[in-house]
């Protein structure tokens, strides 16, 4: 990131860029969710199973998201870990009507959380309990029980019930992601590029950017 970019971010002309990994089993609705988050003129009409992965971009009120939409098919799931380093946030999509494969989703989530690239970073994870419109869908509370989400202690997480075809529940999730992405580490990473530890003198500049409600937590 050049100096000009940094300045434009500070002045609010250009939105901050956040890299998000969109993970989940095949047929859980990852691509549909990403597609629905894009502006209506950029949305594609028919969605096919993702092969390998694709990179999508969308914007929220204050952030610009770059999403790695990964394929969830069994044979592509070993690609996931190659992108863990880039991820500053994770969207994990669960098909809440597929009760049988909830254990598989839990297994994949556990391997994700125990991966060395993820384990010690405090990156936010947003869960979508998708396909809420289906008759045999379980509630988001139940999904969080089945995935044992209460065991995630060191990362901020949030679960939203969603219906990706209608777009219900997606905005709530993105709003949460936006709020939680303003954490200290990630802002440092965005603004200062490569260095993970922001220098204390520069932090003063940062405070301007941080929402008021976070002030108490940071200092």
Partner 1 sequence: MAAASSSDYDGCGAESNEANSKWLDAHYDPMANVHTFSACLALADLHGDGEYKLVVGDLGPGGQQPRLKVLKGPLVMTESPLPALPAAAATFLMEQHEPRTPALALASGPCVYVYKNLRPYFKFSLPQLPPNPLEQDLWNQAKEDRIDPLTLKEMLESIRETAEEPLSVQSLRFLQLELSEMEAFVNQHKSNSIKRQTVITTMTTLKKNLADEDAVSCLVLGTENKELLVLDPEAFTILAKMSLPSVPVFLEVSGQFDVEFRLAAACRNGNIYILRRDSKHPKYCIELSAQPVGLIRVHKVLVVGSTQDSLHGFTHKGKKLWTVQMPAAILTMNLLEQHSRGLQAVMAGLANGEVRIYRDKALLNVIHTPDAVTSLCFGRYGREDNTLIMTTRGGGLIIKILKRTAVFVEGGSEVGPPPAQAMKLNVPRKTRLYVDQTLREREAGTAMHRAFQTDLYLLRLRAARAYLQALESSLSPVSATAREPLKLHAVVQGLGPTFKLTLHLQNTSTARPVLGLLVCCLYNEALYSLPRAFFKVPLLVPGLNYPLETFVESLSNKGISDIIKVLVLREGQSAPLLSAHVNMPGSEGLAAA
Binding site for partner 1 (CB under 8 A): 25-27, 74-75, 77-78, 98-104, 106-108, 111, 136, 145-146, 148, 150
Question: Nearest distance from residue 5's CB to partner 1, in Å?
Answer: 40
Which position among 73, 145, 178, 217 bears the catalytic label? Answer: 73
Question: Nearest distance from residue 21's CB to partner 1, in Å?
Answer: 18
Distance CA(164)–CA(11), nearest Å, equals 34
Residue closer to partner 1 by CB (options 15, 101) is 101
User: At CA 33, angle to CA 186 and CA 119, rounded to 5?
Assistant: 35
If you write DSSP's letter for every residue of 7-64 in order, what string do you get?
HHHHTTSSPEEEEEEEEE-TTSSHHHHHHHHS-GGG--S------SEEEEEEE-SSEE
Instruction: For residue 45, indicate whether it is catalytic.
Output: no
Residue closer to partner 1 by CB (options 13, 100) is 100
If you write DSSP's letter for every residue of 72-85 in order, what string do you get?
-SGGGGGGGGGGTT
163, 139, 25, 152: which is closest to 93 by C-alpha? 25
Question: Nearest distance from residue 131's CB to partner 1, in Å?
Answer: 13
Edge-first strand listing for the sheet containing 53-59: 53-59, 63-70, 16-24, 89-95, 125-130, 157-161
Question: Nearest distance from residue 52's CB to partner 1, in Å?
Answer: 17
Residue closer to partner 1 by CB (options 44, 111) is 111
Residue closer to partner 1 by CB (options 6, 142) is 142
Tell me the catalytic residues.
Answer: 73
């Amino acid at each position: 990131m050049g100096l000009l970019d940094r300045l434009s971010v500070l002045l609010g002309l250009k939105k901050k860029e956040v890299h998000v990994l969109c993970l989940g089993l095949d047929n859980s609705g990852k691509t549909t969710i990403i597609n629905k988050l894009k502006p209506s003129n950029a949305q594609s009409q028919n969605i096919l199973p993702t092969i390998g992965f694709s990179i999508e971009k969308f914007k929220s009120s204050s952030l610009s998201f770059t999403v790695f939409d990964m394929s969830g098919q069994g044979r592509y799931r070993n690609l996931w870990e190659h992108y863990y380093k880039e991820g500053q946030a994770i969207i994990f999509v669960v098909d809440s009507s597929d009760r049988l494969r909830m254990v598989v989703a839990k297994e994949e989530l556990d391997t994700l959380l125990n991966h060395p690239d993820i384990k010690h970073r405090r990156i936010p994870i947003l869960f979508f309990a998708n396909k809420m419109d289906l008759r045999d869908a379980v509630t988001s509370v139940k999904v969080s029980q089945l995935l044992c989400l209460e065991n995630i202690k060191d990362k901020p997480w949030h679960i939203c019930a969603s219906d990706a075809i209608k777009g219900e529940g997606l905005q709530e999730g993105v709003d949460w992601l936006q709020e939680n992405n303003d954490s200290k580490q990630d802002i440092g990473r965005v603004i200062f590029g490569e260095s993970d530890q922001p220098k204390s003198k520069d932090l003063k500049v940062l405070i301007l950017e941080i929402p008021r409600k976070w002030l108490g937590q940071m200092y």
